[in-house]
Structure 1
């Protein structure tokens, strides 16, 4: 991110928040996200109007899953959890409301098993 001059908010030693506000930045961040998840890190993407960056700081406890308790879920249109083995998408948007439609929005290098997918 530093090399590509992408501003970010570092909230912990292993966590940062990036506001993506252009297609150029989206392209850089997408490539970085793929590299990061392949190295075992977690990537969460929130899309919506009025989401406050500081509210995206997750609560972490060693014996519990990551939680985003401060996020106003009514402002979140789409949530994507990127993992090394795939994507988990939750969305209110008609753009993503079927596995067939999702194919148009994920990188071509990923395959999607439509028969084993649901949204």
Structure 2
């Protein structure tokens, strides 16, 4: 679905396991707050490890942001979050982003310019059969 690099934005890393995986594997990351990381993924092994962390975070109500595009830099992908306002990415030029995915506890939001998966029906080919995608009530 993507090529590398892919950037993951973890708003909060509440698990020591996540921090230790990032540290032990020397995964390129940019720490933007006491708990937040922007992680640059450049291999399948790293992608699998960060996906495991991301699933744990999403299941605990913490959003994970995934960016793919050309000319992206980790410092520009820092989310600005406030409890009473929508999440913003003030330093980022979204013209450089081909695909943006917001993973949360209640679902996944995908914005994409890529023809391979620019409709719910096309995305379904990239999602494991163990997950349910309501194609009729979804949009990209």
Q: TM-score, with normalisation over the residues of structure 1?
A: 0.90
2:57 corresponds to:
36
SS in 2 for 1:19: strand
Residues 110 and 56 of structure 1: CA distance in aligned 2, closer, same or farther (over 3 Å): same
SS at match of 2:31: strand
**Residue equivalent to 2:90:** 69
Label 1:87 to 1:39 Cα distance change in 2 as closer, same or farther (>3 A).
Answer: same
Match of 1:11 in 2: 32
Alpha carbons of 1:107 and 1:35: their partners in 2 closer, same or farther (altered >3 Å)?
A: farther
SS for the counterpart of 1:26 is: helix
Q: Which runs of 5+ in 1 are unaligned?
A: none
Higher relative CO (Cα under 8 Å, sequence separation at least 6) belongs to: 2
- 8 Å CA contact retained: 2:28, 2:41: no
**Secondary structure at 1:12 match in 2:** coil
For 2:46, what is the secondary structure of its paired residue? helix
Structure 2: gaps (5+ residues): 1-17
- In structure 1, how many angstroms separate the alpha carbons of the residues matched to 2:117 and 2:32? 30
TM-score (norm 2): 0.78
RMSD value over aligned CA atoms? 1.5
Looking at structure 2, the residues matched to 53 and 25 of structure 1 have their Cα atoms a distance apart, in angstroms, of: 16
Task: State the match for 2:111 in structure 1.
Answer: 90
